[in-house]
């Protein structure tokens, strides 16, 4: 990803309130707002234009991250229609400052964003697919550049929906991929910007240990991953069907162990050096 100069304008001085985001030498613009400021968002001139938007919240039953991705020729009209959706608590809208985005452009962007968000899997999505649109080759190239800037702005505006769980690091992590082994189960993982990721194909113990009672969060997380299909029973273990990011090495190890675990000790290099020992290296 190329470097970028981002201008974030906080209209009320609050990073969670109404705000805009722009990137130097880019014709696009982003506007984000909490649901409590929807009317202020809709009153802005930018909402008269065509664009794509993402509604972000959590599933009312599971609490898992939940999102809706959409497009509209007039953003204001479409967002008003989503007042009936209960789950969302914030909205992020992307449009063009020079009004060069057409219906075909935003349909293409909607389809691409939905496809990437589905593949990354951080959010449960309200819809499974978008119609998309056929664009000339030059227009597709332009929209891919537009999409690359959307990817850059989203984390700054408070959403990691298009941030891959595992990303190539500028500097290789000491120790490389780490292992967590217990009772025949073996998980592979490494630190990430958001915590710690356990890689797809890793295994965890099938049965929870008595110590799990003192780790209710780990129990809840295991149960949630099982309910989502991210952990499935296979050959006497629980297998990870996708990369899963945890808040910390210990949270990841607790799910693998099926009970309490010190992640700094449980995660080790293939030659046995613990994460704690790696962290203490000068």
Give 158-200 pLDDT, tens digit per residue.
Answer: 999 999 887 544 445 667 899 999 999 999 999 988 889 999 9
Distance, CA of 238 to CA of 104 (rounded, Å): 44
Q: Per-residue pLDDT for 33 more than 60? A: yes
- What are the residues whose beta carbons fall under 8 Å from the beta carbon of 70, sequence distance 6 or more? 52, 53, 54, 55, 78, 82, 110
Phi, psi of 222 (to 5 degrees): -60, -45
CB distance 190 to 197 below 8 Å? yes
Distances (CA, A) of 77 to 33, 49, 74, 93: 16, 10, 6, 13
What is residue 171's predicted lDDT score, i.e. its pLDDT?
A: 46
**Residue bearing the bigger pLDDT, 97 or 217:** 97
The runs of H, that is alpha helices, within the chain are 38-42, 75-81, 103-120, 137-156, 216-228, 249-257, 263-266, 275-279
What is residue 167's predicted lDDT score, i.e. its pLDDT?
A: 59
Distance, CA of 145 to CA of 62 (rounded, Å): 35
Over the chain, what is the mean pLDDT?
A: 91
- What are the residues whose beta carbons fall under 8 Å from the beta carbon of 142, sequence distance 6 or more? none
What is residue 86's predicted lDDT score, i.e. its pLDDT?
A: 93
Please identify which residue in the block is written with the tokens 């014709």: 27
What is residue 128's predicted lDDT score, i.e. its pLDDT?
A: 63
Q: What percent of the chain has pLDDT over 90?
A: 74
**Residue bearing the bigger pLDDT, 31 or 259:** 31
Distance, CA of 277 to CA of 70 (rounded, Å): 47
pTM of the predicted protein model:
0.79
What is residue 241's predicted lDDT score, i.e. its pLDDT?
A: 94
What is residue 193's predicted lDDT score, i.e. its pLDDT?
A: 81
List residues bridging with 179 in a β-sheet.
188, 268
Q: What is the pLDDT of residues 229-266, one digit of tens each?
A: 999 999 999 999 999 999 999 999 999 999 889 999 99
What is residue 127's predicted lDDT score, i.e. its pLDDT?
A: 75
């Amino acid at each position: 990803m190329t470097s970028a100069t981002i201008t974030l304008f906080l209209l009320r001085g609050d990073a969670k309130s109404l705000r805009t985001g722009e990137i130097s030498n880019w014709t696009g613009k982003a506007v984000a707002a909490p649901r409590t400021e929807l009317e202020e968002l809709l009153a802005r001139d930018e909402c008269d234009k065509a664009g794509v938007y993402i509604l972000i919240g959590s599933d009312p039953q599971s609490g898992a991250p939940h999102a809706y991705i959409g497009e509209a020729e007039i953003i204001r009209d479409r967002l008003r229609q989503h007042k009936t959706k209960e789950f969302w608590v914030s909205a992020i809208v992307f449009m063009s400052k020079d009004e060069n985005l057409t219906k075909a452009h935003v349909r293409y962007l909607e389809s691409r964003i939905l496809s990437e968000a589905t593949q990354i899997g951080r959010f449960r999505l309200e819809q499974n697919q978008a119609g998309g649109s056929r664009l000339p080759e030059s227009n597709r190239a332009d929209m891919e550049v537009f999409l690359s800037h959307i990817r850059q702005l989203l984390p700054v505006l408070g959403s990691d929906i298009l941030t891959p769980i595992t990303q190539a690091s500028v500097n290789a992590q000491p120790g490389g991929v780490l292992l967590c082994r217990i009772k025949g189960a073996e998980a592979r993982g490494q630190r990430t910007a958001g915590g710690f990721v356990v890689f797809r194909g890793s295994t965890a113990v099938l049965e929870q240990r008595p110590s799990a009672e003192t780790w209710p969060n780990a129990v809840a997380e295991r149960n949630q991953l099982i309910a989502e299909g991210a952990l499935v029973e296979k050959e006497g273990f629980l297998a990870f069907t996708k990369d899963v990011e945890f808040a910390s090495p210990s949270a990841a190890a607790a799910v693998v162990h099926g009970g309490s675990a010190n992640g700094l000790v449980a995660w080790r290099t293939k030659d046995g050096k613990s994460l704690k020992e790696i962290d203490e290296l000068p």
